[in-house]
């Protein structure tokens, strides 16, 4: 733990009163001026700290920044988010997490970023997000699954995002297959799952999630929305991210136990695709019909206009009006 982290930990433990500079310096075995310097560093990061002569320091406010310290404070998980890497700017959090996977890091490590210069979406699209406004992160997982079963993790992540959003707002969100999170048909969140695998087993999976939290409509692509636009309020990204890490862990444990059926049931409850007229683009081939729902593998079934049932493993779904 760095000196700054240690000072912050002491201040967090004393939210009600002041903590004297002398006590901090004694506990950390550093000079009082070193403590003062760390307080300045924390203030520059956005922490509001009052300093009163004869009383000491008191933490008044924390910045809504995706710092490892903020994300881990009070986080109720066993492994997801126990280790966090946070970037001010990175190419793509998925690429950074993928590298950690190749280096052999344990599952649960998360990579957060305030900004991505090469944010990626599904099907070769890019993911645009203004700095400091949204949640951009990737989590490394090592499930005991075959490559064909990885779509279960993707659907699981969508379920976790919706549960999280339902717990932090009074609004209702839906999932467009496989994992776009929508509000009134506008996109709020995208999920990109990538894997390293052998022919019959997965080495690791990276699940990358981008949620538009505090971005203004003008900062987003057409057809996208943010929680700020929906609720009319700026929300705490740290609180939402923590809740999501906790929900992801409990859903992932459910998947590991072999209970994808329960997650699929939740997915169907949140789905705005099932029962809908859709056009699906599968590698340039257009399939039109009514979406029936997902099967126990997570594939989407379409009843086409010619009466055939088509199984879709990957593709781009368009909801018809």
For ligand BTN, the binding residues (CB under 6 A) are: 92-94, 116, 119-122, 125, 127, 136-138, 180, 190-192, 208-210
Dihedrals phi, psi of 276, to nearest 5 degrees: -100, 150
Q: Which is nearer to ligand BTN, 56 or 210 (CB)?
A: 210
Q: Which is nearer to ligand BTN, 42 or 238 (CB)?
A: 238
For residues 287 and 300, give the distance between their C-alpha atoms in angstroms, rounded to a whole number. 12
Q: Which is nearer to ligand BTN, 153 or 191 (CB)?
A: 191
Q: Which is nearer to ligand BTN, 8 or 213 (CB)?
A: 213
Which of 5, 132, 128 lies closest to 63 in space, CA to CA?
A: 132
Structure-block tokens of residue 149: 């079963």
Which residue's structure tokens are 């509001």? Answer: 48
Which of 122, 178, 192 lies closest to 301 in space, CA to CA?
A: 178
CB of 202 to ligand BTN, least distance (A): 19
CB of 295 to ligand BTN, least distance (A): 22
Other Cβ atoms within 10 Å of 207 Cβ, number: 26
For residues 83 and 85, give the distance between their C-alpha atoms in angstroms, rounded to a whole number. 7
CB of 205 to ligand BTN, least distance (A): 13
Q: Give Cβ neighbours of residue 62 (< 8 Å, ≥ 6 apart).
A: 46, 47, 48, 70, 238
CB of 183 to ligand BTN, least distance (A): 14
Q: Which is nearer to ligand BTN, 39 or 243 (CB)?
A: 243
CB of 221 to ligand BTN, least distance (A): 11
């Amino acid at each position: 733990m760095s000196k700054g982290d240690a000072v912050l930990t002491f201040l967090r433990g004393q939210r009600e009163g002041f903590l004297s500079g002398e006590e901090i310096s004694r506990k950390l075995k550093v000079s009082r001026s070193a403590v003062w310097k760390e307080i300045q560093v924390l203030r520059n990061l956005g922490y509001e700290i009052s300093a009163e002569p004869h009383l000491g320091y008191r933490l008044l406010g924390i910045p809504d920044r995706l710092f490892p310290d903020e994300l881990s404070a009070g986080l109720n998980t066993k492994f997801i988010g126990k280790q966090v890497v946070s970037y001010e700017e990175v190419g793509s959090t998925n690429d950074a997490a993928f590298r950690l996977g190749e280096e052999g890091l344990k599952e649960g490590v998360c990579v957060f970023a305030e900004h991505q210069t090469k944010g990626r979406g599904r099907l070769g699209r890019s993911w645009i997000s203004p700095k400091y406004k949204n949640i951009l992160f990737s989590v490394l997982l090592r499930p005991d699954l075959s490559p064909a079963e990885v779509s279960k993790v993707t659907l699981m992540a969508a379920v976790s995002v919706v549960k999280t959003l339902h717990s932090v707002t009074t609004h209702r969100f839906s999932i467009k297959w496989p994992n776009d999170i929508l509000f009134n048909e506008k996109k709020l969140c995208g999920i990109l799952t990538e894997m390293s695998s052998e022919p019959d087993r997965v080495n690791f999976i990276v699940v990358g999630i981008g949620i538009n939290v505090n971005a203004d409509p003008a900062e987003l692509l057409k057809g996208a929305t943010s929680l700020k636009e929906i609720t009319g309020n700026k929300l705490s990204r740290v609180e939402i991210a923590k809740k999501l890490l906790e929900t992801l862990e409990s859903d992932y444990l459910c998947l590991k136990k072999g209970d994808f059926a329960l997650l699929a049931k939740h997915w169907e409850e949140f789905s705005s695709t099932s029962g809908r007229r859709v056009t699906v683009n599968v590698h340039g081939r257009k399939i039109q019909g009514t979406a029936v729902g997902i099967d126990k593998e997570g594939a989407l079934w379409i009843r086409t206009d010619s009466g055939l049932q088509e199984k879709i493993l990957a593709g781009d779904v368009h909801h018809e009006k």
